[in-house]
A and B are shown apart, each in its own frame.
Chain A
């Protein structure tokens, strides 16, 4: 079974530029998450999708971050314009649950490393 796929793995951009990350979850997984992990910290949830609807985006800096999950499968996370403090690993994750219940294990991709200079 293929895991969660993310690209690109590494990206270096200048501040005020834009960047987009792509995620393909495990086949059949209804729930998709984007986490931000700053060096030395635990991951922090940015946005959660249930199929193609947003369940939680309370910690997404909406003035510069946006995300979509068209057709309820792949997802894209965009940052525009980027700031130095956006340097982090962006982890995409997915789980099987399609009814919003707790308990399904969440599987993570390898992450996309972003460095803003």
Chain B
């Protein structure tokens, strides 16, 4: 079974600062993909960043980057220069070939303060 764990129910960061959201996952497969999705109050899931397991290089998208530690099965999201618009629920998700579906963690609510 595929499992994704987000141990931080809530995080807070000041505007312009950096914050890291944690995620661990569990799979026995070698072919899998990891994602971070952002969910604002509208409840639409918006893709933030994606990482292929076979790539050693950490993915980066503007102010968003990941720290992918394959051996530790860890996939954290770093948000630099935090903005008020970053406030949302963030979900870590895993996609494997066998399951052929996204498995989500329980989410981390990020607050951004002035």
Contact = CB atoms under 8 A, between A and B. Distances in A.
Interface of A: 33, 37, 41-45, 48, 55-56, 89, 91, 93, 100-103, 105-111, 113
B42 A102 contact: no
B31 to A, nearest CB: 6
B36 to A, nearest CB: 12
A37 B43 contact: yes
A100 B101 CA distance: 10
Contacts, number: 62
8 contacts: A43-B45, A45-B102, A89-B43, A100-B100, A101-B97, A102-B32, A107-B47, A111-B43
B20 interface: no
A102 B100 contact: yes
Contacts of B97: 100-102
Chain B interface size, as a band, is 20 to 34
* Among A48, A55, A101, A108, residue most surrounded by chain B Cβ atoms (within 10 Å): A108
Interface stretch (B57-65, B66-74, B76-84, B103-111): B103-111
B69 to A, nearest CB: 20
A99 to B, nearest CB: 11
Given A102-B32, A103-B95, A106-B95, A91 B45 contact: yes
* Among B46, B95, B101, B103, residue most surrounded by chain A Cβ atoms (within 10 Å): B101
B43 to A, nearest CB: 5
Contact of B95 (A41, A102, A108): A102
A59 to B, nearest CB: 10
A102 B44 contact: no
A77 to B, nearest CB: 16
B42 A110 contact: yes
Contacts of B95: 102-103, 106
Nearest to A4: B44
**A-B pairs, 4 with minimum CB distance:** A42-B104, A108-B45, A102-B97, A110-B44
B92 to A, nearest CB: 9
